[in-house]
Structure 1
Amino acid sequence: MTHITLVRHGQANTEARDEVSYDRLSELGHQQAAWLGAHLETSGAHHPRVYCGTLTRHIETAAGMGCAEVVQDARLNEMEYFTMSQAMEAQHGLAIPQEREGFIDHLPKVMRAWSADEIKDPPESWSEFEGRTRAVLAEIAAGDGPALVVTSGGFISMAMRQAMGLDSQGMSRIALAIMNTSMHRLFPIGGHLSPVLFNAVPHLDSLDRQYAQTHL
């Protein structure tokens, strides 16, 4: 096994309330990706293998980081949170927040209902999301050399849930904390992938860039 560094995409369209509208980087998101790419280059980080999901925000982030050869894999895509939020509103009367702060309470409620199979006809089941996350990470970990994976916050939080044995509410707290273009590393210990890095943004730590430490 080899270690895997997961990267959340840059800031996307924060005003969106549906999957299609959300799936593009903001101007700041492009800048965050460029800063991360420059940091990895100057720090001498070695990632002979680079992967990303097939969503526009994943592809744009990898490109903005300067990654030339990237393997796209749909199993690295995000859960369809907005689609499930619409289903929760229709089926259970849970209103979709209109302000960003409202998602702090909203996301755990959606995750709990999804994990309990209380959302009728979701885009994919909780178990399917679990399965594809586990499968693709196992395949990447079995390859040669450190891997860099550009994906989304929900996927990263599921990976951390599996590594740490968290319940859905613990996963929700992880998901809410993950910053745009943050790095998270899974390292093979005792035959299992264990977290050794979480939410690292060294490329955004300087005083003039702290404004770019975004969660949404």
Structure 2
Amino acid sequence: MAEIVMVRHGQAAFASDDYDRLTDIGWEQARLLGEYFSAAERGFDVVFTGTMRRHRETLAGIRDVFAQSMPAIAMPEALAIPELNEYDFHSLVDAYLANIGQEIDRSEPRSFYRTLRLALIAWSRGELSDVLETWAAFEHRARSTLTRLAETQGRVLVVTSGGPISAMLREALKLDVETMVNLNLQAKNSGITRYFSKGEQFHLNTFNAVPHLAAASHQHLITYT
């Protein structure tokens, strides 16, 4: 039996010259999550993370606070695997806009994510060309990662992105693509998705929860980018 705790990275720097880094809010989300984990006085037996900077920084924020609060409970070194990386959403949006012959204001989140939703649906249908990864390849790596997690015992922390989290949710719960995409675009920064697994059976316990941001003083820290 394994308890698998998946965490989406903290807020990244949307519409900046380097999206793949945490904002000040993103660092604060990670630190508060570290406090939440340490309050339970339980560590993790295995830690996985993607290889992206925002994954590493989110884990660093969690780990730093956890080490200060729970010095007697060591958090193992992370196994960094590219299968936990996000799809390249910029290339998907580029390909979709090229298909329809339009452009959007990419600095405006509502416009961008509305277009991304359409791009993801088109990607799943094989309607986009010149993309860095096929939909089939994306689903395959999500499926193989879920299989790897199923073979892991104990309490497992996984720091990744909204895309892989929703793709693994689709696999575990047999969701249709449109439902998966809708859940993907609802993913909160530093949100927790928790499973209990036995063999290849996954039982969803929590999706997209932010108990570490529940206080009224932390409501401004609930973000989606």
TM-score (norm 1): 0.92
1:25 matches 2:22? yes
Q: Shift of residue 3 of structure 1?
A: 2.6
Taking the aligned partners of 1:94 and 1:117, their CA distance within structure 2 comes to 19
Q: In structure 2, do the counterparts of structure 1 residues 97 and 160 end up closer, same or farther at CA, with 3 Å as the change threshold?
A: farther
| 8 Å Cα contact 1:25-1:60 kept in structure 2 | yes
| 8 Å Cα contact 2:4-2:194 kept in structure 1 | yes
> Structure 1 residues 195-204 or 84-93, which shifts more?
84-93
Taking the aligned partners of 1:91 and 1:136, their CA distance within structure 2 comes to 32
| 8 Å Cα contact 1:107-1:172 kept in structure 2 | no
Q: Shift of residue 144 of structure 1?
A: 2.1
Q: Shift of residue 94 of structure 1?
A: 4.6
Q: Aligned partner of 1:50: which letter?
A: V
The structure 1 residue matched to 2:211, chosen from 168, 191, 202, is 202
Q: Shift of residue 170 of structure 1?
A: 0.7
Taking the aligned partners of 1:185 and 1:6, their CA distance within structure 2 comes to 6
> Structure 1 residues 65-74 or 173-182, which shifts more?
65-74
Q: Aligned partner of 1:11: which letter?
A: Q
Alignment of 1:184-199 (within 5 A): 184-188=193-197, 191-199=200-208
Q: In structure 2, do the counterparts of structure 1 residues 94 and 117 end up closer, same or farther at CA, with 3 Å as the change threshold?
A: farther
| 8 Å Cα contact 1:3-1:141 kept in structure 2 | no
Alignment of 1:138-177 (within 5 A): 138-177=147-186
Q: Aligned partner of 2:51: which letter?
A: T
> Structure 1 residues 51-60 or 163-172, which shifts more?
163-172
The gaps in structure 2 that reach 5 residues or longer are: 64-74
- Show the counterpart of 1:100: 109
1:79-138 alpha-carbon deviations (Å, 9 max, x no partner): 111111112122332534431122442222111110011111311111111111111121
Q: Shift of residue 57 of structure 1?
A: 0.2
- Show the counterpart of 1:12: 12
| 8 Å Cα contact 1:97-1:106 kept in structure 2 | no
> Structure 1 residues 132-141 or 5-14, which shifts more?
132-141
The count of residues paired between Structure 1 and Structure 2 equals 213
Q: Aligned partner of 2:101: which letter?
A: G
> Structure 1 residues 44-53 or 55-64, which shifts more?
44-53
Taking the aligned partners of 1:73 and 1:60, their CA distance within structure 2 comes to 15
- Show the counterpart of 2:38: 41
**SS in structure 2 of the partner of residue 3 of structure 1:** strand
**SS in structure 1 of the partner of residue 128 of structure 2:** coil
Q: Aligned partner of 1:108: which letter?
A: R
Aligned-residue RMSD, C-alpha: 1.7
Q: Shift of residue 42 of structure 1?
A: 1.1
Taking the aligned partners of 2:208 and 2:149, their CA distance within structure 1 comes to 21
- Show the counterpart of 1:89: 97
Taking the aligned partners of 1:189 and 1:103, their CA distance within structure 2 comes to 39
Q: Shift of residue 69 of structure 1?
A: 1.3
The structure 1 residue matched to 2:191, chosen from 151, 174, 182, is 182
The structure 1 residue matched to 2:88, chosen from 47, 57, 80, is 80
Q: In structure 2, do the counterparts of structure 1 residues 199 and 36 end up closer, same or farther at CA, with 3 Å as the change threshold?
A: same
Q: Aligned partner of 1:182: which letter?
A: G
